[in-house]
Structure 1
């Protein structure tokens, strides 16, 4: 069995009035092998909604891993105790939530009474419940230009956060929160799975946050997986593990993540359609994504070489 069956599942939606973009990457190819990957419309730039928050979380993870002593002081001597690498963050650094951060949509932070949160608290909220207020606070902390630099450094040229999350979009602001391609989203996940997203520690932190995602309604919806099994990312005999980030917006459903079974596959699936077509098209998009999920699961459950 090959990943070609994932592409076939994606192409089965060709008659639907929507764009379904799919990318899948074999994370652990055999020695000397380039690794299998497939894509369908995977280089088409589409709105990707909150799946793009993976890029923000990757930048936060990179900075948290940089919270070690600087290699050397400017004069070449030993750095002062507690000196941080430029741009580094501490996981327990308190972050004030400003009025400009608070927005509706997904999340809990705008509904909770606790006044103080740390950088890592905000990352968990962003990853687990796609908290928009936490997202805005983190974006304010690291800045949009930093996410653009990281995307460029990782070779993800078409994955872009354009703005903070807003309740309404009108004149003078970007029309969507983020755009990207299925290929870039899947590549970001593959880099983390291989431990090469900035560093092994940053990669592991990002995957840990993704593991906390509570939305399993897209790719994992119809597959046998354990969302709470300890020991991730170690395989669980006979069952799949999932770490992912989903996105939902008007005319958009997106899911990017990692399936861990007998083999590991990084994936991204993005559906985009004209909302004037009505709710039946939305339902068709969700069903198409879930069909791709079953094909991904079938591949991940087969032993290597089978």
Structure 2
């Protein structure tokens, strides 16, 4: 199955009242396809991959220590999954905050990391990797006032997919930083978008080695009003880095949201087929 199948699945959503940006990269031979993949869109929490990549870079270089304590301040606390603020402990480490951000997209943990490294550092990293279209504008907020950036993050499907491809290739600054980011991504608990329609084992211990006859996934999703995003890698006979970003007008109602999610899942099915998985179709 060729990557053209992914593009065809993405284009099938053209009649829907939404924008669907899709990028897929065969990490093993460098081929790629894209549909609206350079359109800048809100990407919600999928952009946390860039934040985690900067933390991974600093941990690998020794600028940060995994066990370094990070105080969680009142200004960091916000809604969303909210796991950190419900746990009965204090004194979180850098690595703790990264696991919480990657696994359940904890916004409070994310805000503590944003404060630790700063959006400017993530922008420098993005430029260095050639994915400057991916931008972390601000911390996560429960509400945004007129003086706040209007969005947490924006980017393109192409930039997100390239970021993942760097990690899979081991070229995210260093092999160590790449491996660390992939481990965090592997802990992600939301497989309801691109991987939803294909059988896969989210806990197979062989990751990132291929699972004989099966599928491995590492990803990070993003959800906001009128936005669904998913960026990650399917590992089968081939390694396919991908990103999907759907954007629609919420005034159109829940039916459009359901259509967007269905379109993303169908592209995910095509990505699994391209990874060479038995039963991927």
TM-score when normalising by structure 1:
0.90
Q: In proportion to residue count, which structure has more helix?
A: 2
Secondary structure of 2:240 counterpart: strand
Contact persistence 2:47–2:136 (CA under 8 A) = yes
How far apart are 1:106 and its partner, in Å? 2.2
Alignment partner, residue 196 of structure 1: 171
Alignment partner, residue 43 of structure 1: 38
Among 242, 253, 262, the alignment partner of 1:287 is 262
Structure 1 runs (4+) greater than 2 angstroms displaced:
none
How far apart are 1:291 and its partner, in Å? 0.1
Secondary structure of 1:124 counterpart: helix
Secondary structure of 2:275 counterpart: helix
Alignment partner, residue 65 of structure 2: 90
Aligned: 1:116 with 2:91: yes
Contact persistence 2:122–2:136 (CA under 8 A) = yes
Alignment partner, residue 6 of structure 2: 6
Specify the structure having the higher radius of gyration (Cα). 1
Secondary structure of 1:25 counterpart: strand
Secondary structure of 2:74 counterpart: coil
CA distance in structure 2 between the partners assigned to 1:249 and 1:185 by the alignment = 17
CA distance in structure 2 between the partners assigned to 1:22 and 1:221 by the alignment = 16
Alignment partner, residue 189 of structure 2: 214
Q: CA RMSD in A?
A: 0.9
Aligned: 1:132 with 2:127: no
Q: Deviations over 1:25-49 (max 9, x none)?
A: 00011xxxxx210000000000000
- Unpaired runs of 5+ residues, structure 2, are none
Contact persistence 2:25–2:31 (CA under 8 A) = yes
Contact persistence 1:159–1:184 (CA under 8 A) = yes
- Unpaired runs of 5+ residues, structure 1, are 30-34, 68-87
How far apart are 1:238 and its partner, in Å? 0.6
Secondary structure of 1:231 counterpart: coil
CA distance in structure 1 between the partners assigned to 2:10 and 2:148 by the alignment = 33
CA distance in structure 2 between the partners assigned to 1:302 and 1:130 by the alignment = 28
How far apart are 1:129 and its partner, in Å? 0.1
How far apart are 1:117 and its partner, in Å? 0.7
Contact persistence 2:27–2:240 (CA under 8 A) = yes
Aligned: 1:56 with 2:51: yes
Aligned: 1:261 with 2:256: no
How far apart are 1:302 and its partner, in Å? 5.6
Q: Deviations over 1:63-85 (max 9, x none)?
A: 00011xxxxxxxxxxxxxxxxxx
Alignment of 1:119-268 (within 5 A): 119-268=94-243
How far apart are 1:192 and its partner, in Å? 0.3
Alignment partner, residue 79 of structure 1: none
How many residue pairs match? The answer is: 278
Contact persistence 1:104–1:167 (CA under 8 A) = yes
Contact persistence 2:49–2:220 (CA under 8 A) = yes
Contact persistence 2:214–2:277 (CA under 8 A) = no
CA distance in structure 1 between the partners assigned to 2:111 and 2:277 by the alignment = 40
CA distance in structure 2 between the partners assigned to 1:106 and 1:115 by the alignment = 18
CA distance in structure 1 between the partners assigned to 2:187 and 2:272 by the alignment = 19
